[in-house]
Amino acid sequence: MERIQAALKKAREERSQPKSSEPPEQVQTHERKPDPLILEQSHSVGDTEQLWKAVKGFNPSDRWLKRNRIVAFQSGEEAAPYDVMRTKVLHSMRKNKWTRLGVTSPSQGAGKTMTSLNLAFSLARQSDLRIMLIDLDMRRPSVLKTLGVKDPIQFSKVLSGESDAQDQMLRYGKNLIIAANSAPARNPAELLQSNRAAHAIDQVEAAFQPNILIFDTAPLFAGDDTMAFLDQVDCVLLMAEAEKSTIEEIDKSEQDLAARTNVLGVVLNKCRYLNRHEEYGKAYGY
C-alpha cells in the first residue's frame, strides 16, 4: 500500500512540475439553491421527519449483509476501517461545507458499491445525521442485490420526471435512505447530464435535507456516465483494487476527476497484505 501511495505522490509531483509551486485551488462546487416549490410542499405535509417516515422501511438480514461484505451496520472490528473513513470524510466535508460525495473507480470490481454502502451504514450509526445513498451506476445496478432487496424500485424514473422520489426509495432505520434501481436504465449518460435530472436531485436534497448525499457512480472507464454527472457533486472518492488497478489507471482517473470536482482521496480496496500500522481495530476494544 505504501508503494502505491509513493507512486501516486511521484505522479502528482511530476504533473505539477511545469506549473506554479502553489497548491492547487479547489474546484468550484456547483451552486445549488433550494427549490421554493418543493420546500413549500414539504412544509405542507409536515416537517422533514415526516417525509423520512413516509418512505417505506426495509430491514435486511444481518447474515445476508455480512455475506455480501456489508459490515458497518454495527460497530466492531470489521467496521473499524469504514468508521475511520467516515470520520475523515465527515471532517473534510464539514470543513468545506460540502454535502454531495461521489464514489467511483477506474474499472469494475474495485468495490465501490460495497464501500458506498458500508460508508452509508457507518455514517447512519450517528443518530444526529441523515444520510442518503443514491445508486447512479445505472447500466449495472447492484445496490439492491447486495442488500437482498427485491422491491421493484427505479430511481431513474425520478431523474426522468416519471415518478415521485419517495416512491423509489427505501429507508433503513430512522436516518438512512437508499434510492436505487432494480433494473438497468436506458441512455444513462444522457439522463445524468440532463437539466431534468439535475433539478430532480436538487429537489430531493431540498425536501429531505440530508447531511450527506452519497452517489454510487459507474466506473470511469466503462463509459461517460460518471463524467456526465461530476458537476453535480462536491467531491469524490476514487476506489482502486489492490493488485489489479495500475498506477497509470489510478493517476489518469485522478486527473480526470480533479478537472471536474474535488478529489477527496484514493481508497485501496481488497488489500491482502497490510503493515501493522495500517490495520484497524485489532485487539483494541473489539
pLDDT at 108: 81
pLDDT at 21: 44
Average pLDDT (156-173) is: 95
Which of 43-47, 207-211, 220-224, 228-232 is least confident? Answer: 43-47
pLDDT surpassing 50 at residue 141: yes
pLDDT at 275: 56
The pLDDT tens digits for 12-29 are 566 555 544 444 456 655
CA distance 8 to 13: 9
pLDDT at 247: 87
The secondary element (H helix, E strand) that includes residue 97 is none
* Percent of the chain residues topping a pLDDT of 90: 66
Q: Which amino acid is at 132?
A: M
pTM: 0.83
pLDDT surpassing 70 at residue 59: yes
> Could you count the other beta carbons within 10 Å of the beta carbon of residue 198?
17
Enumerate domains of the chain plus CATH numbers: 43-271 (3.40.50.300)
Q: What does residue 187 show for φ and ψ, rounded to 5 degrees?
A: 50, 55
The secondary element (H helix, E strand) that includes residue 141 is none
Which of 26-30, 31-35, 54-58, 203-207 is least confident? Answer: 31-35
SS (H, E, C) 104-125: ECCCCCCCHHHHHHHHHHHHHC
User: How sure is the predictor about 272, in pLDDT bands with cuts at 50, 70 and 90?
Assistant: low
Query: Nearest to residue 165, comparing CAs of 37, 266, 56, 30?
Result: 56
